[in-house]
Each structure stands twice: as C-alpha cells, then as structure tokens.
Structure 1
Amino acid sequence: MTMPAPFTDQDQFNTEQHQVIALAAVFQAAQLVHAIATAGSQRIGELGQHYATVLLQASLNIRVGQNPNSNSLVFFKSLSDLHLGLHTLEQSLVMPYDPQPKQRYPRLKTKNPKQALGYAMALLQLSAKVYAHKDYQAKIEQTQQKIIRQFAFFDYDYQNSSIIAALAQAYSDTASHLKPRIMVKGSSQAFKNTHEVALIRALLFAGLQAAHYWRELGGSPWKLIFSKGKILKHIRYFAELQHQQQQLEVESESL
C-alpha cells in the first residue's frame, strides 16, 4: 500500500476507512466492557477512562433518523482516540495474534480479545434490531436530548454519574429486551458496585450507537466476514499514520 505524506489530511479517508473507524469504536466499547467487568474501572487507568469518554460523547452525538455525517472523526475525534478499538479489532481478525509484527505499529497491551469479540458481534446484531423499533428510537432520542439540555449542570463531564446512569438506563430499556442478550462475564466485585454496572451498560449503549453508525455508513456483517483482508490493510494504514505522526512529534521536540 502506498503510504501518504506525513501531513496527510485525515478528513480524506474513504468510505471503507470510515467504516473501519466506526467498527473500531464498537470493539473499543466491547474491550472496555470486558476490562471493567473483570478488573474494575480503576484498573483501566487514565488512558482507559479517556477511551471511554470518547465513546460516551459519540453516543450522544450519533442521532436517530438523521443522515449520518460520513466523516467518522466528527464523532470519534482522532485515530489515537480509538487506538484500543483498532488494536482489539486487529487482534480479533488475526488470531492467534502476532505480538511482534514485521512492521512497527503503536501498540497497547490487551489480553486475548475473544470475549470482547463476542460482545462486539452481539452489538452489531443488536443495533439493527434496536433501530428497527420506533419506540426504542424515541427512547434513545429522548435520553440524548435530556442529557444535552442538562449538560452544563453536569459540569460538561461525560462520565458524570447521572449521565452514566441515564445511558445505562437507555440500554436497559432497549437492547436488554432483545436477543442476543449480552451476558457480561466478570468478577463478583465489579457486579456488586452499582457504578461499575452502570458504566458497563453505558459503554454497551455507546457500542450500540457506534454499531448503528457503522451500518449507516454501509457496514454489514457480510462485509465484515468477506472483507477481513481489506479491514486489516486499513487498520495497518492507520497505524502507519499514527507512527509517522509520533516520529514527527519526536523530531520536533528534539529541534
């Protein structure tokens, strides 16, 4: 694949690449759900909290019944903000995963993605079913509007406990009534903590929204199955862009 100049405008990604970015958001939500359920939100650190915030913000901006903005970075900000999702998606497509590929890509250590893959695939299925129900669409829209109206009251904090609770309730009122029901596996300690449970459901809602956006961009389960090679090429292209940017930042700091 021909690599672009270091200052390639990320707004010039093509439709397939934007689909991969949206798909990575689904996998990022799934991986965070798995991490929090097994180890607790305190263990994901500041970086994990940042990855979660990006998804929660996007879940409020992906609206019902509107023509989708074809630029996925309007919702997900930058490739680095979806690093965990891109990495988890790549791991899921290439199992067993080679931790030392021939080319240098930015990496974030994650465990075997099998559980996250299961959550992500369920979210892709559920998104179509949820958005097929007008009542569920209305519920999602009402939740979004209520949070946005009161956002200043929440100190513009996407991880405010009230926002987390509202998004968690939106998931419970919609996707939880449909199959396949996502049965999250984890530690008993995490499930005893009401905030952890709400955060897990809020992230499932964020994953549901990202999956809906992926479908709106033309994504489909069939494409996911038969276009694995293309998806991997796009992921590694994104990784090269990130690596180039990191190199430029290092060089500029040394001047």
Structure 2
Amino acid sequence: MSTQVNDQAIALSALFQAAELVSQLAKNGNAPEAALRPLLDSLLKTNVTSTDEIYGGNWQLFDNLQLGNAICQKTIGKDKTSVNPDTIRYALSILHLESKLAKQPQMLSALGQRISQLERQKEHYEDMIHPNMLAAISGIYQDNLSKLNFRIQVHGDSRYLQQSLVSDQVRASLLAGVRAAMLWRQLGGRRWHLIFKRKPILAALNNFK
C-alpha cells in the first residue's frame, strides 16, 4: 500500500479500532489483546519509512487492524446502523481531541518526551500490554490530553470503569487513537472526507492487505 488514500485507510482503521476497544472495555471490562497490542506498539513507531510499518508492516497489517478496518467500512459505508453508536462517537471525539492537541506545541513536546521514556520502560517489561506499561501510557494521557478544554466522556459499566487496569486500558486506547488521528491528519485526511470522499476511502479499505 503506497498511495495516499491507502495510507489514510490504515490510519482510519487504527482510529476506529481504538474507538471500538474503548467501547468494549467500558461495557464489558475487556478487549482482545490481539487488537490492543498493535495500537500500543504504534506509539513507539516514530521513525518509519512507510505507514504500514507503524502497524506491523505489510505481512501483519491486515491481521493487526482487521477489527478497525471492518468497523470503518461499515461506518462510512451502508451498514452504519450495525456499528455501536458509542464507537462512532469515540472516533469522532478522538479526531476532535487531536485537532485541539495540534494547536498545543508545548503539549506535543511533552508528549514526545514522555513517549521516549516509554521506550526505556519497555526494555524492562517487553510487552506494551504489561500492566505497568498500561499504567504509564494511561498517565501520559491523564497528564496531557485530559487537560485540554475538550475531554472525551467514556460511558459504560461503572463496575469495570472503576477498575484501574480497565481505566488504564481505556486511556491507553484513547492515546493510541489520537496517534492514529494525528497520522490521518498528517496524511491529508480531514473529517469532511468521511462524507465526501467515501468512495475512494472505502475502495482502499476493501483492498486492505
């Protein structure tokens, strides 16, 4: 995948996957690790030569973002009613939050520094979904994005949301979603494209390999 719209399809798939994971965590208290891990790994993929490298490279891309790809196709296609409304709301909210972040250079710098620290922490825990890594990622979200004048409201079962591991996974998923939204914008993506450029985006999503 090399054209701009194909790269945008990667970013959108990651965005909707993050939003879906937030929905699942909030309502059920769990989410598939196979879908969460590549999103969290993407936070450390800052020096890459192609967009697909951020989410596992050409051979793992489809498997890593299959969930988000399917949901994105339904959302901007003709099957929107089958998608959890909360997932769509979270995806659009993440896009809006990232647009706020883009206007905060000091916060962007602070985020970059904290993410650099994550790389050193990962050497001790190896896996980004280790509870200590999740707590660190959650802390980055809380210390930065939670202070913007727009905050994403997560609704679900309070029995789960009050559990520290679940809340950490929710914030980590949101941060990964912001990463995807930033990538989408850097690739020329705009929110109105989801309405007026649906056909080429859907074609790219459908050819996702």
State TM-score, norm by structure 2: 0.91
Determine the C-alpha separation between the residues in 1 that align with 2:84 and 2:7. 22
- Which structure is higher in helix share? 2
Q: What's the CA shift for 1:224?
A: 2.2
Per-residue CA deviations over 1:164-200 (Å, capped at 9, x if unaligned) read 1111111112222224321111111111211100110
Aligned position for 1:246 = none
Q: Distance in 2 between matches of 1:30 and 1:70?
A: 26
Conserved 8 A contact 1:92-1:117: yes
Q: Kindly indicate whether residue 193 of structure 2 is the aligned counterpart of residue 193 of structure 1.
A: no
Residues 14 and 65 in structure 2, CA contact (< 8 A), matched pair in contact too:
yes
Equivalent residue, structure 1, for 2:73: 90
- Any conservation in 2 of the 1:26–1:210 contact (CA below 8 Å)? yes
The equivalent of 2:91 in structure 1 is 120
Structure 1 CA distance, aligned partners of 2:180 and 2:46? 8
CA contact (8 A) 1:34 1:116 kept: yes
| Aligned pairs for 1:238-249 within 5 A | 238=208, 241=209
Q: Runs of at least 4 residues of structure 1 off by over 3 A?
A: 95-98
Answer yes or no: is the 8 Å Cα contact 2:76–2:194 preserved in 1. Answer: no
Q: Which amino acid aligns with 2:75?
A: S
Q: How many residues align?
A: 205
Matches within 5 A, 1:48-67: 48-62=32-46
Q: Which has the larger radius of gyration?
A: 1
Paired with 1:40 and 1:76, the residues of 2 have a C-alpha distance of 24
Q: 1:172 aligns with which of 142, 167, 171?
A: 142
Aligned 8 A contact 1:168 1:201 in 2? yes
Residue identity in the other structure for 1:139: A
The aligned runs of 1:101-116 (5 Å cut-off) are 112-116=83-87
Residues 150-161 of structure 1: pairs in structure 2 closer than 5 A:
150-154=121-125, 156-161=126-131
How far 1:95 sits from its partner (Å)? 4.6
User: Offset at 1:70?
Assistant: 6.3
TM-score by length of 1: 0.75
Higher RCO structure, 1 or 2 (CA under 8 Å, sep 6+): 2
CA RMSD of aligned residues (A): 1.8
SS state of the match for residue 181, structure 1?
coil
Q: Distance in 2 between matches of 1:95 and 1:181?
A: 30
